[in-house]
Amino acid sequence: MKSISSETLSTKIISPYNAKRDLNDILRLELEIFNDPMSRNLIDYLVSKYGIDYFYVVDISGNHQLNGYILAGIDTSNSLYIFSLAVEENYEKQSWGSKLLDYIITKAKVNRLTHISLHVEIKNYSAQILYQKFGFTENLLVKNYYGPGKDGFSMELQL
């Protein structure tokens, strides 16, 4: 299978996940951004179950500090599931979520995956707009997906 590397971007700032370097920053961003942050145990579980082939981080500031990430894994032979996508608030309106999403979609296409799915909180309008911009469609309302009274949408992109 052909793969893409961080060299694909001229800025060379998107790089593969490295637990020693990135885990604490991912946990920090999870706490800062999400009402239901992933735990260290959950990230460790995702790594052990899905590997890190689709875990990427971004150092936007150039200070060797993680400012955003996308975590995804192949959940069937042809399907990629995005577990989390986050960008530090300071960089939110600079298209970094789009760049990370585009990067993972490109990698999925190169590796001949057929679709990508994810869940998004029903009140996270900016994320929904981002995903729709890339062609994701809402296919199911999932009650209490993010906890009691916190519904989510299941979204999918056909590649």
| CATH match of 6-113 with 1.10.1740.10 | no
Query: What's phi and psi for 58, nearest 5 deg?
Result: -135, 130
Residue pLDDT, tens place only, 109-137: 999 999 999 999 999 999 999 999 999 99
For residue 76, the model assigns a pLDDT of 80
Residue 62 DSSP code: S
- Each domain of the chain, given as residue ranges in start order, spans 6-113
Q: Which residues contact 49 (CB under 8 A, 6 or more apart)?
A: 73
> pLDDT of the chain along its 159 residues, tens only?
344 444 444 344 789 999 999 999 999 999 999 888 999 999 999 999 999 999 999 988 888 788 999 999 998 879 999 999 999 988 888 889 999 999 999 999 999 999 999 999 999 999 999 999 999 999 999 999 988 999 999 999 999
Residue 90 DSSP code: G
For residue 77, the model assigns a pLDDT of 79
CB 155 within 8 A of CB 134: no
> Nearest-CA neighbor of 100 among 49, 47, 59, 46?
59
For residue 6, the model assigns a pLDDT of 41
